Amino acid sequence: MSTSRAPSVIVGLSGGVDSSVAALRLVEQGYRVQGLFMRNWEDDDTDTVCTAEQDLADVRQVCAELDIALHQVNFAARYRQQVFDDCLREFEAGRTPNPDVLCNREIKFRAFLDHATRLGADYVATGHYARLGEADGQTLLLRGRDRAKDQSYFLYMVGHEALARTLFPVGDVEKAEVRRIAEDAGFDNFEKKDSTGICFIGERDFRGFLSRYIAGNPGPIVDTTGQRIGEHQGLSFYTLGQRQGLGIGGRASSGSQPWYVVDKDMDTNTLIVAQGVDHPALFCEELEATDVHWVAGRPPVTHGVYPCTAKVRYRQPDQSCKLAFHGSGVRVRFNEPQRAVTPGQSVVFYQGERCLGGGIIARGYQAGDR
């Protein structure tokens, strides 16, 4: 590739090893590469500030090694308005949102793409473990080669138009190889721990952080027979399938099996729990999805039933299902009952390697609910 005619790419550099190696691979492929460090979250937590500064230091070291320019931009106000505030509304409504999905749609593949365009970039690139394909002149979203790290689940709200201007340079590489490449390149972050937890909370205490923004509203915890067995601190602080932090403790009349959240009654401010990891109340045969987004801009079919696979959480193996379309929503019926189908989370649809799209889980249906 001639350097003078090579496309210009701006890589979103987070300070992590994945985006660093993404930049390296693009440089090696002959692209004209620049880096961009985004500040997407700001608060007064000292640990958060220190982490951001360390991330920026890692980005600067990578850019120095690669001899590429570094830009910085602050999207924190936009993130708070378009991602965080939306998530707070969902938590207050008793649902469990997925901010990483919203962040990809609103920030990384909208705000970042727009900003990079203003800087003159032909493409943007990230360190996501996903791949791109093409069919009938349209860009397809495919799973990452490393199935344990595949991040297509978080990208289903990104449309094919944005994907057509995106590169995923580590999508065809195993994570272990990414770390080896980073070490060979002299990157200080080659052993840096992967980020975990909700993006704006990180590894801090979830309830403690959320209580800064949502007031607690204690109420009863009851079992599936309606017997009161404890008190919760506010329905916003719990999610379906949750085991830890219920504060129920041992009960002589209930045996030793752990308790799990199986439902929330917002009208009566009641948290419903059941005992045992395989309790029937934890499982649903169907779900209703709203706010459905198709990567191609349209569903694979417009009527009838469509067989495919789906995930109701990130690390779940593919589950066989059938989609029934109605209006802007989708009814999903699984071949096998699914555990802890959680309103507010995403259900994402696949056909083989291709990510078709997904939607927000509105509710799950157990046998006999229909």
Mean pLDDT of 284-295: 97
Token digits for 188?
A: 């200080």
Angstrom CA distances, 64 to 21, 123, 271, stand at 14, 21, 53
Whole-angstrom Cα distance, residue 234 to residue 115? 40
198 lies in a domain?
A: no
pLDDT digits (tens, 9 = 90+) for 101-148: 999 999 999 999 999 999 999 999 999 999 999 998 899 999 999 999
List pLDDT tens digits, range 154-166: 999 999 999 999 9
Please give the residue range of the domain that contains residue 54: 8-184
Catalytic residues: 103, 199
How many other CB atoms are found less than 10 A from the CB of residue 267?
A: 6
CATH of residue 225:
2.30.30.280
CA nearest neighbour of 222 among 274, 294, 285, 287? 274
- Kindly state whether residues 263 and 323 are assigned to the same domain: no
Q: Which of 277, 293, 318 is the last residue of a domain?
A: 277
CA distance 59 to 13: 6
Can you spell out the DSSP letters for 86-142? Answer: HHHHHHHTT----HHHHHIIIIIIIIHHHHHHHTT-SEEE---SEEEEEETTEEEEE
pLDDT digits 0-9 by tens, 305-317: 999 999 999 999 9
Q: Which of 92, 90, 124, 104 is nearest to 40 (CA)?
A: 104
Residue 194: which pLDDT band, with cuts at 50, 70 and 90? confident
Point out the domain boundary residue: 277, 298, 325. 277
pLDDT computed for residue 52 by the predictor: 87
Confidence of residue 256 (pLDDT cuts 50, 70, 90): confident
Total number of domains constituting the chain:
3
Kind and range of the H or E run holding 279: none
Helix (H) or strand (E) holding 86: helix 85-92
Q: What is the DSSP letter of 251?
A: B
Residue with tokens 């927000």, as numbered in its chain: 360
pLDDT surpasses 90 at 293: yes
Q: Euclidean distance between the first and final Cα of the chain, in Å? A: 59
The predicted model scores a pTM of 0.93
* Predicted local distance difference test score (pLDDT) of residue 96: 95
For residues 82 and 98, membership in a common domain is answered with: yes
